[in-house]
Structure 1
Amino acid sequence: MVPLPPLKRRLLGALLLSERRTIAVERLMLAVWGDTHARKEALKTHVSELRLLVPGRIPPAGPDGYRLRLLPGDTVDVDTFHDLVATGERLAEAGEHRAAVASLREALNLWGADPLADVPTGDPRLRQRRQALLRQRQDAMVLMFGTRLALGHHREIIADLRGELEDSPDAEALHVLLVNALYRSGQRVPALQHADAAAGILLEENGDPGERLRRLRARIAADGAGPAVTAGAGGAGTALPAVPAQLPPDVLDFTGRSHEVERLTELLTPAPDATGVPIVGISGLPGIGKSALAIHVAHRLRPRFPDGQLFVHLAGRSGRSANVGETLAELLATLGVPAQDLPPSTVGRAGLLRSVLAGRRVLIVVDDAAGVSQASHFLPGTAGCAVVITGRALLNGAGIRSFPLQPLRGEESLTLLGEIVGADRVRREPEATRTVLEACGGLPLALRIAGSRLSSQPHWPVELLASRLQDRLKGLADGDLAVEASIAESYEALPAPARHAFRVLALAGPGDWPMWLTGMLLGAEQADDALAALTSHSLLSPAGADDLGHPRYRQHDLVRDFAEARLAEHVDEWDTTMNRLLLGWLLLADRASAAIPGEPFFPPPARLHWDLHVPVQAQKLIDADPGGWLARECAQLLAVIRVACEENRYRQGYGIALRLASHLYRAGRDRDAEDMWRIVMRTAAAAGDRRLAAEARHRMAALITRGPGGPARALPMLDTCVAVFAELVDRNRWARSLALRAFCAYRLHRDSGGAGVERAARDAEEALELARLTGEGHTELVCLRTLGLVASASGRHTEAIGRCEAALARGRAITETSGDAACEVFAAVALATVLVAAGEAGRALTVCETALDAARGTGHVPAQAALAERAGDALSALGRTREAARRYREAVALCGTDGADPHRARYDGKLSRATTGDGGSPA
């Protein structure tokens, strides 16, 4: 076979269709392109190229045009087709039906899937020749189907006849054959229905409903009983009943899922030339609406399966699973098979079902299957049918399209609740409705229960139900419907190791979490089996992969609530898992925080050097990119800190918070950091741990200080911290609290001077004395920096510069020791500030430029913004406002990521003044 491009196939087809006679140039152009406009040269080119592909077969053009010449040994499919059809006709007349079918099938196979697709139709004579050939093909097709009908293949040819009629709806002979095949298969009612429908088609297409079809319909209508149909080998014949329609009613208020419905409809619609059975397996967690979706789609597909719809409910998720053999018996009885003809074995009954369904177009819904092996007994064996299976377990297998179902989207959930209780009712209370929707988590079952409770109490405000959903599982129950009971069925069906893993993974927390966390909570040897079991039972969902390609998972909130309740029933299991969880995250956070710059105003936490419960995969990820790892897992770490405090294990939560704080600072996530320390502070205070509560309060004050009005809000908190640490004689924390209190007083009174600044100076001097007693460099740096700023506010510029230079020297010493330049950068910001105030703008600019390189190296975004601002101040003081504006713009661009950078308004104000030529002012 020589592969040809489309135009050359059309050219060759035209030459072949002319039956080796010469065809005029104009006719060839019309055949190939549909017109003759300026095509002669193109035709010459294509003929020349075609000669190279079929050498010796296209003579030079004569005065009348071109022709095709066959060489000895060449054959043409049309000639072979005619010979085979003639042989088939002779064999059929002689009663040798099997041989006739073989010859006719061989003839028809020559046509391919799309008969004469490349034969051109632009020329009228070629078009007539093409139509004549297609009629000959159809005649051969009719002869073959008629011969097969004589052999008793009435069931087997039904699907093929339907496929041919889709292409040739006006072929009366094919309609007659299909009606005969349906009738002889025991489908009397479908035969009559098709005869009526075909008569209408023929009348519309041909102006005549067809005499042969009318006579056949009259004979079938006169036969009230219908023909006998063999149910099985050796079985008695019986007439099949009317078309089965077993689908449960569609849900009246079915909502959303438009994409899923369209996709399933597409997957379950058999292709005309398909030889297999479309099978789709819908899986998903309990209450997600698998059955409702399957039934809804099945009702939409009913017109495409005129021979009936069967519904099989297997209850496969629990010990009350249906008996497959008995279910098959009931199904076969529905299809007209007498009890005495039923094979004794399940395998035999499944085989009989396939025989009965052969040649028919039936849609089968297998609901709530335990797995593919259970559902496989109900699968047809021949094309024309389709099957949709639902089950909680992931439905994978040869020929099965897996279709995992996800929760409803937000708008779909709102629409469904509105359909149940009334759109006006939910619209009146948007906040309470949002709370109810969040509690339901997109599960249709939960939404229907919530809607049912509201519908049964029409006088209830939505807020009343919302308040009762704090315990979601308890609140989402109404009579026999309960989300908890639905989840419990799946849980109880798990083997013991999977149940243990299900309970333990509840502590992985909300949102998605990394695959390696499973190993940390369960042990590496159990992790893979646990993930496979829970994912296959839809109690755990894949959540994609992180930016390094490592898998992540999540549990639905309601499923996690159930798992937590079960875990609480196993006290030892709870304690063991909680220890592994907190210790594992603590060690991982320590490993990551040790590799990134710390907070400039706090000493780094003591390093930990164990690897108990720490997954190797997580260690590798941290070592490859510690900052990226902290960014990816930040939400998980914050959640773990909250869990630790809720469990009164606040010391472990505090340890994790210490190691997360530097990342939050670098990322500008002050709001998250403040919430984190507030949880730790309240829990420690409730436990009577004054030292740890005061430390968390101090950290909160440091964050609050940076915000609008922060110094005034932070001062009372710092008064408490100073008092507690003084009483406990904790000199380091006492010094840091005094230094921060001094900074707050400086911020409040720097413009007015007076007693406030003096108080700041006294606190800073006392802090410096305490810091030098302990020899703790970070605390000494903070004190020196504060003293410098206080002196600057009082106009003592030489002292201010000296203090800040000492702070910078201390910062450089810390950098040399630890490799962390954060403290050095922190001190440089203060030095640049006092230099600008002292009128040494050029020197301040040099300090900023040098420190900016170090700040970029550390990744400290807030420090970069502060230095850009100070550089802008220096440039404004030097009269270089255009350059100053560029620096302020840089500071604005570096604002924090949590949406409320406390310095943004100041940066914007300075940028505005610089761009209008007014210059900036120092901080």
Structure 2
Amino acid sequence: MSTLRFEILGPLRFWRGGTELDAGPRQQRCLLTLLLAASEQPLGISELIDLIWESAPPSSAVNIVHKYVSGLRRVFEPDLTARDCGRYLFRYGNGYRLVAGTAAVDLRAFHRHLADARAGEGAGVPDRALDHYTDALRLVRGPAGGALADSLRAAAVFTAFDSQFFDATVAATEIAVRIGRPAEVLSAVRLAATMSPLHEPVHASLVTALAATGRQAEALDAYRTIRQRLGDELGIDPGPALLEAERRVLTRSVAPAMAAAPRPPSPHPAQLPPDLPLFAGRSAELATLDGLSAPSGPLVVALDGMAGVGKSTLAVRFAHRVSARFPDGRLHLDLRGDRDEPVTAGEALRSLLYALGVPAAKVPDTVDARLGMYRSLTADKKILVLLDNAREAGQVRPLLPNSTTSTTLITSRCPLPGLAAFDGAHLMHVDLPDQPAARELLNRRLAGLPNRPAAGTADEMIELCGRLPLALAIVGARLAAHRHLSPQVLAAELRDDGRRLSALAVGAGDQDPRTAFSWSYRQLSAGSARLFRFLSTTSPTGVRVLACAGLAGQDVAETRRQLAELVEAALVTEHGDGRFTLHGLIRAYAGELFRTIDAEPPTARTVLDRRWSVLAGFQHGGPARLGSVVGQDSVH
């Protein structure tokens, strides 16, 4: 549905991708505009005939409508076969229905913004209401439908949309003048006054907006013009709205001091972290991201994966590849969702406003006001936002820019399905690199080193690091920093489960696997943390839910909840066959915690006793059931 985009709030225009198309002869264009105006509601054949021809339709009107429909389908989808209705224009009873999607038709976006604006007014948030009003007004380019209406009924359909534009202009001007932002509505109110030369509330709004932006002389000229026009064409004097607007200008009740100060400058921030010079692999992931980045609307991509897998490195590499598409700015913010105290939405908005040139003294106090300012400053901008280490969708949603030409990249340890469901985000899981890519990554780190390991030793190191990019980078860094360090000695350290994480430790302040895993572990509930430690005693090939319940000595339902929490924290991997596994380095970390916090690993007898207690809750089963469970899961 996103391949087509329509505009009817002005002359009819529509595009397939980036190519503007011709909708055909006049009456065919009229039919298309009427179907779009119906907002995906079906229109019957007789209704369409009445709208197009009104009182004098030709005898072949039904066939003409069918012909126009076929013509539009071929314009929408040139490869369509003769009898195929395609993806957009459907037969519905004795009529037709056009389905184009909310974001693809300016009229539907206009109505959505109006609804949000009125909601902002009702909630007492004028800044937010004005942001939505200006978004709606910006969509209008002239009289709805252009000049395609040849019947009174069709004209009435389009006139209704023009009236909504006029009402929205008046409401937006009142708010804009009251909160000191009149310049933002001036172009829209000028257009409305041009479209409706005798609409008194619109012209009163024009007079008021001109005065509020410091144009007193122009405001009085506008008043005199509409007063003379009313007298010449209608023989009436100005009504209360115009008289009040004139009085406010003459008494300077609307003075330039009440108008908006110049909006904060909008610099072109370039905050992306440096691209990694030793970047390797990820060609498939970059190709996928390239495929998503076609300019068909705002792009939101949320990359998830375990700690150290290279989500941020991949996001930064892609951001630099496409940065030239975003001349209005490239923003970056670490949301610290992997830490004990993540950045709040309010603080994140403050940082982004600073980056967009807003002085500290001008940043609003409330989160809603900051959100309104952020959306205003990013409206219609070609801007890229990279949000690292998000914890949840609610932390990210207020930070999405208000622009159809924007791209937002998000990294998180857990998937963010809420962003996909409600914000149209693409979810992309970043997995461990395969063996060739991991070898390329390590080889780039080892290039030119005198103590470079032999191929067999390097492959063993890769496997002992579980192909985790963070660990491989540290292996390369250790060999580079300590030229006397033998690769065989380092490999021996990695083979020792008790020393493996210490072999991958770095200096204070830098992230290593143990530190990265600890941030995820500290966010777990007590029960899930305990189960995580116990999982270090299970088979590397995986363990199932019943075995986990027996190991922890608790019921299956609670165990499922805890496993779900561990999977969401990217500490445990769930497989399609019901197994749960730990990455080798995460298993080593869990083992360190187990040896520090818990008793000795449970014996087989202890596990069997615990499994009996778990299975006691089953109404059926007994020894046969227990045998099947023990047979499925090895006991450690």
d(CA) in 2 for partners of 1:464 and 1:155? 72
d(CA) in 2 for partners of 1:417 and 1:486? 20
1:489 lines up with 2:515 in the alignment: no
C-alpha displacement at 1:303, in angstroms?
Answer: 2.5
Task: Verify the 8 A CA contact 2:386 2:408 in the aligned structure 1.
Answer: yes
Counterpart of 1:540 in structure 2 is 572
- Aligned partner of 1:283 among 301, 304, 308: 304
1:374 lines up with 2:395 in the alignment: yes
Task: Verify the 8 A CA contact 1:366 1:388 in the aligned structure 2.
Answer: yes
d(CA) in 1 for partners of 2:138 and 2:595? 74
d(CA) in 2 for partners of 1:155 and 1:494? 53
Counterpart of 2:369 in structure 1 is 348
1:321 lines up with 2:342 in the alignment: yes
- What letter matches 2:390 in structure 1? A
C-alpha displacement at 1:244, in angstroms?
Answer: 1.5
Counterpart of 2:597 in structure 1 is 570
SS in 2 for 1:243: coil
1:327-360 Cα distance to aligned partner (Å, 9 max, x none) = 3223212212233432211232123211211111
Counterpart of 1:395 in structure 2 is 416
TM-score of the superposed pair, with normalisation by structure 2: 0.56
C-alpha displacement at 1:442, in angstroms?
Answer: 1.3
Task: Verify the 8 A CA contact 1:291 1:367 in the aligned structure 2.
Answer: yes
- What letter matches 1:355 in structure 2? S
- What letter matches 1:309 in structure 2? R
Counterpart of 1:363 in structure 2 is 384
1:229-283 Cα distance to aligned partner (Å, 9 max, x none) = xxxx96521463442211001111111111112212333x2543x3xx3222212
Q: 1:536 to 1:613 in 2, by over 3 A?
A: same
C-alpha displacement at 1:108, in angstroms?
Answer: 9.5
Greater relative CO, 1 or 2 (CA 8 Å, sep 6+):
2
SS in 1 for 2:390: coil
Counterpart of 1:251 in structure 2 is 276
C-alpha displacement at 1:424, in angstroms?
Answer: 8.2
Gaps of 5+ in 2: 1-21, 29-44, 50-57, 70-135, 150-168, 170-181, 189-257
Task: Verify the 8 A CA contact 1:520 1:615 in the aligned structure 2.
Answer: no
d(CA) in 2 for partners of 1:429 and 1:99? 64
Counterpart of 1:265 in structure 2 is 290
- Aligned partner of 1:299 among 317, 320, 344: 320
Equivalent pairs: percent with the same residue? Answer: 27
Aligned residue runs from structure 1 range 524-923, under 5 A: 524=555, 525-545=557-577, 551-572=578-599, 574-575=600-601, 580-581=606-607, 611-614=612-615, 633=632, 637=634, 640=635, 643=636
Counterpart of 2:504 in structure 1 is 476
1:642-686 Cα distance to aligned partner (Å, 9 max, x none) = x4xxxxxxxxxxxxxxxxxxxxxxxxxxxxxxxxxxxxxxxxxxx
Task: Verify the 8 A CA contact 2:26 2:148 in the aligned structure 1.
Answer: no
- Aligned partner of 1:510 among 525, 540, 550: 540
Aligned-residue CA RMSD in angstroms? Answer: 4.4
SS in 1 for 2:369: helix
C-alpha displacement at 1:477, in angstroms?
Answer: 1.2
C-alpha displacement at 1:387, in angstroms?
Answer: 1.1
Q: 1:457 to 1:512 in 2, by over 3 A?
A: same
* Higher share of residues assigned helix: 1
Task: Verify the 8 A CA contact 2:451 2:486 in the aligned structure 1.
Answer: no
d(CA) in 1 for partners of 2:583 and 2:147? 56
SS in 2 for 1:389: strand
SS in 1 for 2:427: strand
d(CA) in 2 for partners of 1:362 and 1:427? 43
C-alpha displacement at 1:553, in angstroms?
Answer: 2.0
Aligned residue runs from structure 1 range 115-194, under 5 A: none
- What letter matches 1:518 in structure 2? C
- What letter matches 1:418 in structure 2? N
d(CA) in 1 for partners of 2:309 and 2:399? 24
d(CA) in 2 for partners of 1:99 and 1:568? 63
Q: 1:615 to 1:555 in 2, by over 3 A?
A: farther
SS in 2 for 1:403: strand
Gaps of 5+ in 1: 1-13, 21-52, 58-67, 79-96, 111-146, 157-232, 546-550, 588-610, 644-923
Q: 1:72 to 1:418 in 2, by over 3 A?
A: closer
d(CA) in 1 for partners of 2:340 and 2:291? 34
User: Size of the alignment, in residue pairs?
Assistant: 413
Counterpart of 2:89 in structure 1 is none
Counterpart of 1:339 in structure 2 is 360
C-alpha displacement at 1:507, in angstroms?
Answer: 2.4
SS in 2 for 1:508: coil
Counterpart of 1:453 in structure 2 is 478
d(CA) in 2 for partners of 1:407 and 1:510? 17
SS in 1 for 2:547: helix
C-alpha displacement at 1:613, in angstroms?
Answer: 4.0
C-alpha displacement at 1:407, in angstroms?
Answer: 1.3
d(CA) in 2 for partners of 1:500 and 1:109? 70
Task: Verify the 8 A CA contact 1:367 1:390 in the aligned structure 2.
Answer: yes
d(CA) in 2 for partners of 1:621 and 1:292? 52
d(CA) in 1 for partners of 2:432 and 2:623? 33
1:76-119 Cα distance to aligned partner (Å, 9 max, x none) = 989xxxxxxxxxxxxxxxxxx98994764434999xxxxxxxxx
d(CA) in 1 for partners of 2:413 and 2:506? 22
Q: 1:579 to 1:358 in 2, by over 3 A?
A: farther
d(CA) in 1 for partners of 2:622 and 2:295? 48
1:553-581 Cα distance to aligned partner (Å, 9 max, x none) = 21111111111211222334x55586554
Task: Verify the 8 A CA contact 2:340 2:522 in the aligned structure 1.
Answer: no
Q: 1:509 to 1:490 in 2, by over 3 A?
A: same
Greater Cα radius of gyration, structure 1 or 2 = 1
C-alpha displacement at 1:629, in angstroms?
Answer: 9.7
C-alpha displacement at 1:73, in angstroms?
Answer: 12
d(CA) in 1 for partners of 2:542 and 2:449? 35
Task: Verify the 8 A CA contact 1:281 1:389 in the aligned structure 2.
Answer: yes
Task: Verify the 8 A CA contact 1:235 1:341 in the aligned structure 2.
Answer: no
- What letter matches 1:368 in structure 2? N
- Aligned partner of 2:261 among 233, 236, 243: 236
SS in 2 for 1:390: strand
- What letter matches 1:477 in structure 2? A
- Aligned partner of 1:519 among 545, 549, 566: 549
C-alpha displacement at 1:311, in angstroms?
Answer: 0.3
d(CA) in 1 for partners of 2:581 and 2:186? 53
SS in 2 for 1:329: helix
Counterpart of 1:28 in structure 2 is none
d(CA) in 1 for partners of 2:148 and 2:316? 39
TM-score of the superposed pair, with normalisation by structure 1: 0.40
